[in-house]
Amino acid sequence: MKRVVKGKEPHALTAWKADNHDSPQNLDYGNLPGKILDKIKQQMLKEQGYLCGYTMRRLNTVSECHLEHIEPQNASPRDLDYANMLACFPSDGGDTKPGYGAPIKGGVAVNSGNFVSPTHPQVEQHFHYTWKGEISAKYSEDVAAVKTIKLLMLDNPKLADLRKAAIEAAGITRARDIPLSAAKARRLAQECLQKDANSRLPAFCLVLSRVAEEYASREEKQATRLRRKSRD
């Protein structure tokens, strides 16, 4: 998961809360007008690099995502807390057909023992990715990371295939006419974590970065072994 740094809540949400301050019965997520929901989504997309907050799938527009509550509405009073919301795939938050992501998590209550939130400062240090698109907890004893993967089904084969396809499309492999050099892999690892002029990150950016770093390390070690062998 890529870390999501939350900004200030959108002005439209702040204004709506102020307008309903004297009618607390109206201060419910279900009462938010569609126009305000779209403004919230739009700001979140920019914050998240136009990626799903859980899966890192591409989200191009507000119509392609739903507003996910990290602490679910049925288990937390934070239904209007902007810091508790993410823009997530799919567009219908109740659609479980993809088999992974926010709808699979559903209304499960989360805490630091069973879930690593994308908003946690160290979230990126909890997970490991392979060139096959696989995901695992970086440390087997990291119970929260293990449970997060299962809770969101981030190891779903369909999602793993999408990650693998992104890795291959980025050229992070020796199976090409001109293999990617270690230096270029290092640059790619940094570049894919930078938003472009439109505030977008590459889909599965953190996966690409981690796999590129490992690729570069392997190439550098191989080059060192070959130099030593030639000297001998």
pLDDT at residue number 75: 74
H helix intervals, the chain: 11-19, 34-47, 102-105, 143-152, 157-169, 182-191, 205-231
Domains of the chain by residue range: 11-231
What's the confidence (pLDDT) of residue 196? Answer: 97
pLDDT exceeds cutoff 90 at 116:
yes
> Distances from the Cα of 187 to the Cαs of 102, 156, 177, 183, 191, in angstroms?
32, 29, 20, 6, 6
Q: Which residue has the higher pLDDT, 150 or 228?
A: 150
pLDDT of residue 174: 78
Mean pLDDT of 45-61: 98
- Give the residue, 134 or 227, on which the prediction is more confident: 134
pTM: 0.93
pLDDT tens per residue, range 161-184: 999 999 999 999 877 778 899 999
Q: How far apart are CA 115 and CA 113, in angstroms?
A: 6
Burial class of 220 by CB neighbour count within 10 A (0 to 12, 13 to 18, 19+): middle
Q: Which of 57, 43, 146, 31 shows the shortest CA–CA distance to 85?
A: 43
Q: DSSP label at 136?
A: E
Angle at 17 between CA 14 and CA 22, to 5 degrees: 145
What is the pLDDT, as a whole number, of residue 183? 94
If you average pLDDT over residues 73-82, what whole number do you get? 88
What's the pLDDT score for residue 232?
Answer: 65
pLDDT digits (tens, 9 = 90+) for 122-160: 999 999 999 999 999 999 999 999 999 999 999 999 999
Mean pLDDT computed over 64-84: 92
